A and B are shown apart, each in its own frame.
Chain A
């Protein structure tokens, strides 16, 4: 066949106008949002099945850890809540035997370990940091939490809230991080501690934690309430 330039031009134009017509984004349609939410729930189940409780997140050399870690929140660092180490109490709720609140001093007396792991943000960027603290598993056992329950939830001083599945809560690398780069967690990174979970996306790592609760009802999450996937494992 030979090329008919006029035909090519007219057909090209009609294709172009077609794509313009269909170019209106259907994302804001309620039925579409409902469909995407259902697929996201399916993806929660797939990720829970993919999660291997014995698999450790890769660890890195001390030299690869970033000292000036990226600040990330929906508010500026100057707006970060300043919790007083003397007044602070960690509240416990839900399926926990001993709900006595904890002071910073008591928390610091817990056995601690360090990890140099990679923080992966849902946006795509990633950063390696050194965090030190107590495995959440150790703490849950210490307070007599019902570890056969399905979820662990967190409430934070900045209004943030998150929750994770119990297998992730019991993962050996899920820690209550009191230190970043060997220094007491600075205010903007979540003093007195953040939950550091190298098997989850960054937003599943809550800062300024003031309440930990154990439950069988799936806790809500600040970003999952805004359309992000709930499980968000990596």
Chain B
């Protein structure tokens, strides 16, 4: 018998995909912007950044695509903001967070983490294990921190002293970078797990996933 074991509300699906698209654009364009004034002793390879072909941009603008990268960044920020607010409001009001992401108990996280690292974690569709719950909270917190530190960098005068929260303007840039790194690592794990359990992808697109159960 086919049993429906995972459902995603339309708000969750739409905000998930808008967030996914926005975050990818923000990462790619952010790397190009970072390259123009690196805060650490390295830059990102051009082909992994968003902002267009450098020669084409130089021909069009006399600018190596930083202008386009910034335009992407400040377009995608609206997507992230909108999707983040929709996701958080819906999650809090519909009971999705309380039902699926809570409680997160340290002992369970420890147990599931050991199980996951030794490839013994049972992965059931529609049920979030403790590590998953913790990671979703971390990713959500990360997205919120990106928005907040991003606003501090975008409008340091109009939002002053918001930057003090991050130890100043330069501190906000560093936080923005470090949390980005965390989100990239989350994305790697997130996508790897989708590859392992492809039905979750179908659930996030169509709204439900079924499983054959005796």
Contact = CB atoms under 8 A, between A and B. Distances in A.
Do A and B come from the same complex?
yes
A69 to B, nearest CB: 16
Q: Output the residue of A23, A27, A57 with the most chain B CB within 10 A.
A: A27
Given A3-B196, A27-B72, A229-B74, A58 B157 contact: yes
B160 A50 contact: no
A124 B33 contact: yes
Interface string B151-163: 0011111101100
Contacts of B72: 27, 36
Contact of B158 (A25, A74, A122, A233): A233
A15 B50 contact: no
Contacts of B67: 223, 226-228
Interface in B7-37: 33-34, 36-37
Contact of B62 (A1, A28, A36, A74): A74
A120 interface: yes
Interface in A45-82: 47, 50-52, 55, 57-58, 74
A126 interface: yes
Given A126-B170, A227-B61, A227-B68, A28 B157 contact: no
Given A36-B68, A227-B67, A227-B68, A120 B37 contact: no
A56 to B, nearest CB: 8
Given A118-B169, A126-B169, A50 B158 contact: yes
Nearest to A10: B195
A136 B106 CA distance: 60
A120 B71 contact: no
B50 A25 contact: yes
Q: Output the residue of A28, A40, A47, A233 with the most chain B CB within 10 A.
A: A28
A122 B70 contact: yes
Contact of A40 (B69, B74, B123): B74
A33 B68 contact: yes
A84 interface: no
Nearest to B59: A28
Interface string B39-51: 1000000010011
B142 interface: no
Binding site secondary structure of chain A: loop
A15 B72 CA distance: 24
B213 to A, nearest CB: 14
A124 B150 CA distance: 12
A57 B156 CA distance: 9
A33 B65 CA distance: 11
Contacts of A47: 155
Nearest to A29: B52
A229 B52 contact: no
A185 to B, nearest CB: 23
Given A11-B195, A124-B37, A1 B158 contact: no
Return the 6 tightest CB-CB contacts between A and B, nearest first: A227-B67, A27-B52, A36-B71, A226-B61, A124-B37, A123-B37
Interface of A: 1, 3, 8, 11-12, 15, 23, 25, 27-28, 33, 35-37, 39-40, 43, 47, 50-52, 55, 57-58, 74, 118, 120-126, 198-199, 223, 226-229, 233-234
